[in-house]
Structure 1
Amino acid sequence: MPDVLHDLLGEALHIVLCGTAASTASAKASAYYAHTQNKFWTILHETGLTPKKLQPHQFRDLLHYRIGLTDLVKTHSGMDHQIPLSRLRKVARERLRASIAGSRPRFLAFTSKTAGQAFLGGKRDYGEQPEWLDQTRIWILPSTSGAANGSWRPEIWHQFADKVRSQRR
Structure 2
Amino acid sequence: MTPEELRAARDRVVPDVAASGLDVLFCGINPSLTTAATGHHFAHPGNRFWPVLHRSGFTPRQLLPSEQGELPGLGLGITNVVARATARADELDAEEFRAGGADLAAKVERLAPAWLAVVGITAYRSAFGEPRAGIGPQERLIGGSHVWALPNPSGLNAHWTVATMAEEYARLRAAVLTSRRAS
Structure 1 length as normaliser, TM-score? Answer: 0.91
Aligned-pair distance for 1:119? Answer: 2.1
Task: Check conservation: 1:76, 1:83, Cα contact below 8 A.
Answer: no
Q: Which residue number in structure 1 is paired with residue 106 of structure 2?
A: 98
From 99, 111, 125, give the equivalent of 2:119.
111
Question: Where does structure 1 lack aligned partners over 5 or more consecutive residues?
Answer: none
1:7 aligns with 2:16: yes
Moved more, 95-104 or 154-163: 154-163
**Identical aligned pairs, as a percentage?**
25
Query: In the TM superposition, what is the alpha-carbon distance from 1:157 to its structure 2 partner?
Result: 1.4
- Tell me which residue corresponds to 1:145: 154
Deviation at 1:140, TM superposition (A): 0.5
The secondary structure found in structure 1 opposite 2:77 is: strand
| Aligned position for 2:176 | 164
Partner Cα separation in structure 1 for residue 85 and residue 140 of structure 2: 27
The one-letter code sitting in structure 2 at the alignment partner of 1:98 is A
Q: Call closer, same or farther: CA 1:165–1:3 in 2, change over 3 Å.
A: farther
Query: Structure 2: how far apart are the matches of 1:128 and 1:109?
Result: 9
Counterpart for residue 42 of structure 1: 51
Whose radius of gyration is greater, 1 or 2?
2
Q: Could you tell me the TM-score, scaled by structure 2's length?
A: 0.85
Pairs aligned (count): 167
Aligned residue for 2:5?
none
Q: CA deviation at 1:3?
A: 5.3
Matched, 1:51 2:60: yes
Q: How far apart, in 1, do the equivalents of 2:122 and 2:143 lie?
A: 22
Give the aligned partner of residue 32 of structure 2: 23
- TM-aligned CA deviation for residue 113 of structure 1: 1.1
> Is contact 1:21-1:78 (8 Å) kept?
no
Q: What's the counterpart of residue 144 of structure 2?
A: 135
